Chains A and B, each alone.
Chain A
Amino acid sequence: MSEEVATKETEAVPENWEPRIVGFLCYWCSYTGADSAGTARMKYPANVDIIKVMCSGRIDPELITTALSNGADGVLVAGCHIGDCHYMTGNHKTMARMPLIRQVLLDLGIEPERFRYEWISAAEGEKFTRVVREMTEQVRKLGPLNWPEILHESGVGHGRDLKPWGE
């Protein structure tokens, strides 16, 4: 078992590795926004795989951690702009949950670029395209999400720099 951990820790970046990003999109705005990007034949990298939910309010943080702990190198969450929610205030919950899960991810040493949430309307195919391009590149720069690395080598595991003794 200890060997097992050891092997995991020395995971190298595999040949022609591609970032794996899971995107959770609300159906009425962001998913449709991605559609309009398609209708307009905009081009973006193939790294973000979309999962459809009716409202971004359905996006349980558990889905995000499940993705990240099962091989995703990044997670994108997108919903209607605040005020435009098809369900009035469904995305208000997203708006409140996402900064919190982000904080927890930071405390666990996950690079901030690996988790992103955006408000993308049905008309904003261009914004969707931009976000996918940006995020894919950022995650590509970071390389694969190597959990054991993060959990074990980040010294103070939660990303905060602590004062040394005597200061």
Chain B
Amino acid sequence: MRIDALTGVLLIPAIAAALLAVLPGYRMTARLNIVATTATLICAASLFFRRPPTGPYLLVDDLNATFIVLTTFVGFTTSVFSASYIAHELEIGRLTPPFVRFYHAMYQVLMFAMNLALIANNIGLMWVAIEMATLTTVLMVGIYRTHEALEAAWKYFILGSVGIALALFGTILVYMAARPVIGEGLDAMIWSVLVRRAGDFDPALLNLAFIFLLLGYGTKVGLAPLHAWLPDAHAEGPTPISAVLSGLLLNVALYALLRFKMLLAANAGALAPGPLMITLGLVSLVFAAFMLYRRRDIKRMFAYSSIEHMGIITFAFGMGGPIANFAGLLHMTMHSLTKSAIFFAVGHVAQVKGTQRIADMGGLTETHPTLGWGLILGVVAIAGLPPLGIFMSEFLVVSSTFARSPALAIILVFGLLVGLAGLFLRLNSIAFGEPRGPSAKAQASYVPMFAHLGLVFAAGIYMPPALVAWFQNVAGLLG
């Protein structure tokens, strides 16, 4: 297999992981980490221009190219952020060098797994990759080895592996459905082949398969009521991992779901996946919105906001149609950027305040103006207020939905409003009021955070035609 961008996307993280696992010394490894992610990003970007041919295992089309570039980009910025973050963790002794090494290695493994999941053409391979990603994150969530961390990791692990099982069962069912049509063997698991012949599959089997896949991968997406692992995993793990989880892993799982949705959409007899996704999406949205109110832990709060937004995205894709799909893609991209930016900010906040309890922070805009306003900007963005990107996607989702089925739009709007109120209820006590907690200067690199927010801002005002055409094309693919 010749070395091209595709293999680069996979090989670089793999090699880097191996290196980082053995190399000592925090500074060098952190740099190496950044270098690796940069290289991966470059390879991924080149996929836009040179599209390698579709093989039995790997595939690149417009859909996953978007995801790959997004993933590698956020992976890159997060590695930059994690450099400064981990340095601080070492200083205060929350992490020891061996764990840092382990952390960096795992980081690259995670990158590898996610990229693999995205470019896999074989549904079995995709499954393997996603499970790999899950297990690595399980290990990273538990890295602090506090009671809470272990408990979160354990919860994540148990729920995750049940998800694994369900997804696998779904995959098997898809194969069973494909086999009579395509014939035994490898072909019956190659997505590009499946989607071509999906019309002839046995609908009943497909439906059953989709239900298992929906629950299996939906657990990873964090849709209520399958979400339980998500808040704690975000709250207890290292913040860069929270950023990657919210920003990327959820997307990857959602991507898998989308692939199978397209499969079902191609079959006339199968049940429409839309209603299921809409229901789960709305449930997640409203549920998460209400959960925001009683949060005392800042990271857990934003974890719930991730659930909320995953709900919105799932809803949008469930609605389907050019506008809604476009909005869904846009929302997903914007959410990845924004949420990771928020977690960057939150990481620094937690470090300067020495706690994650919201009650112990206050007047952040007084003590740390840059950080505080950055956080506010992030929350404003995530709350869907203009002029940032999420406003546009929510505008498109709501308006297009209301014209088609008002009742759903009402629920959607209700959820959005409740969520916004919850977010700002907490934000007020964090960013405003009399300063609370230590006000030592934060030694942190704000570059990643503001880079993300800058992109989100730009997208909210102006989207380059190329990107738009791209998204529209993908939206068309999603049908």
Bound pair: A and B? Answer: no
